Amino acid sequence: MDATASKALHYETLVLASGGAESKAGEAFSLASSQFDVTDSLPLHIGEYAALLKMDESRISEAYYHCRPFFEEMNEHVLVLDENSPFWPSQVNNFAYRPRFLYVQGNVSLLKAPSVSVIGTRSPSLEGKKLALQTSNALAKAGYVVTSGLALGIDGVAHKGALSAGAPTMAVIGTPLSQCYPKEHTDLQAEIAKCGVVVSRFAPSTTTQKWHFLLRNRLMSALSLASVVVEDRDGGGAVRQASFALEQKKYLFIYQSSVENRSVFWPRKFANESRVFVIRKSEDIPRILKKAMETKRTVGKPKEKAVQLDLFALEE
């Protein structure tokens, strides 16, 4: 186990001992890092950790001996990153719920490559599947890493579209790397680990919870320049990521067909927000995204007042 993995083991021990409270564990771990070498064997400093967390040593010891076997059995191809690692993606540093460690399998350099999330419902229409494939192909052709969450439906189509085009894809998952959800994508996850990269914020000792998938979406958005919501229901995971993207001042793309779909409300809610672009064709995404980044454009379409001023100037 290398030094970063050792630090991750100690941090996860503190998280477990704290009942899952990452903020409490993170504060104690930061203090510990300033007081002693946190790559040392944890039992050497169990008294200091207990004092920092204000709990009995036996509780920390129990958590440590629960977590340690998971780290010792971790796949040899898994790389553990922290903010001091050369491949750490700095774009995640300034966002809420920033992970302290990342667990990566595959081409780790893709974490720093320009990427775009292609996401949507687990139960897509035929048109949704077609758009997801077209979106994936357009982004891959333009040199972007197609990023998604390995879920059934739109996510799976996006990953497979990139792979079939011979392009790398990034899967940001809501489970430890040693697990796969859904089970139907076990082979796909393994293929992405070989031809792209799989990344998780969850340690091998983590017990997966439903809310972990929202943390997955936050991380996915932070890693990406933009998110494309192909199709989703109101309140769906992709819609939640759309909110995270705008919160993180990333770009958001929505298809016109979604805006015109009166059975859902979310597209019209987002359509006129800053940094949102409503598109008709997938091939427009790379061009619009490039222009937006070059000009630091913050709106999806001109405000009505601005259009009127432009017309007035032309008439003069």
- List pLDDT tens digits, range 224-279: 999 999 999 999 999 999 999 999 999 999 999 999 999 999 999 999 898 999 99
Q: What is the pLDDT of residue 295?
A: 82
Q: What is the pLDDT of residue 308?
A: 29
The parent domain of residue 134 ranges over 90-295
170 and 205, same domain (yes or no)? yes
Q: What is the pLDDT of residue 299?
A: 46
Q: What is the pLDDT of residue 309?
A: 27
Last residue of a domain, one of 16, 41, 73: 73
147 and 200, same domain (yes or no)? yes
234 and 126, same domain (yes or no)? yes
pLDDT of 204 over the 70 cut: yes
The stretch 63-77 carries a mean pLDDT of 96
Average pLDDT, rounded, for the chain? 91
Last residue of a domain, one of 73, 105, 134: 73
pLDDT of 126 over the 70 cut: yes
- Judge whether 9 and 42 are in contact, CB under 8 Å: yes
259 and 178, same domain (yes or no)? yes
The stretch 121-150 carries a mean pLDDT of 96
Q: What is the pLDDT of residue 294?
A: 87
- Judge whether 102 and 88 are in contact, CB under 8 Å: yes
Tokens of 190: 């393994």
Q: Is 246 helix (H, G, I), strand (E, B) or coil?
A: helix
Last residue of a domain, one of 73, 103, 120: 73
Q: Is residue 300 part of a domain?
A: no
Tokens of 192: 């992405």
Q: Is residue 263 part of a domain?
A: yes
Q: Is residue 310 part of a domain?
A: no
The stretch 35-39 carries a mean pLDDT of 94
Q: What is the pLDDT of residue 100?
A: 95
30 and 104, same domain (yes or no)? no
Higher pLDDT, 299 or 219: 219
Q: What is the pLDDT of residue 1?
A: 87
Q: Is residue 289 part of a domain?
A: yes
Q: What is the pLDDT of residue 16?
A: 96
269 and 187, same domain (yes or no)? yes
57 and 119, same domain (yes or no)? no
pLDDT of 90 over the 70 cut: yes
- Judge whether 115 and 147 are in contact, CB under 8 Å: yes
DSSP state of 206: P
From residue 99, alpha-carbon distances to 92, 185, 220 in Å are: 8, 25, 12
116 and 196, same domain (yes or no)? yes
94 and 55, same domain (yes or no)? no
Model confidence band, residue 96 (pLDDT cutoffs 50, 70, 90): confident
Q: What is the pLDDT of residue 297?
A: 59
Q: Is residue 203 part of a domain?
A: yes
Q: What is the pLDDT of residue 272?
A: 87
Q: Which helix (H) or strand (E) holds 105?
A: strand 102-106
196 and 286, same domain (yes or no)? yes
Q: Is residue 233 part of a domain?
A: yes
CATH number at residue 245: 3.40.50.450
Tokens of 179: 């697990």
- Judge whether 202 and 103 are in contact, CB under 8 Å: yes
| Beta-sheet pairing, 115-120 with 145-148 | parallel
Q: What is the pLDDT of residue 278?
A: 95
262 and 167, same domain (yes or no)? yes
Q: What is the pLDDT of residue 253?
A: 97
Q: What is the pLDDT of residue 303?
A: 40
pLDDT digits (tens, 9 = 90+) for 145-200: 999 999 999 999 999 999 999 999 999 999 999 999 999 999 999 999 999 999 99
Q: What is the pLDDT of residue 79?
A: 97
Q: Is residue 169 part of a domain?
A: yes
Q: Is residue 163 part of a domain?
A: yes
163 and 235, same domain (yes or no)? yes
Which range, of 60-69, 104-113, 292-301, averages the lowest pLDDT? 292-301
User: 114 CB contacts (<8 Å, ≥6 apart)?
Assistant: 143, 144, 145, 225
Give the closest residue to 248 by CA, choosing from 95, 41, 127, 80.
95
**Total number of domains in the chain:** 2
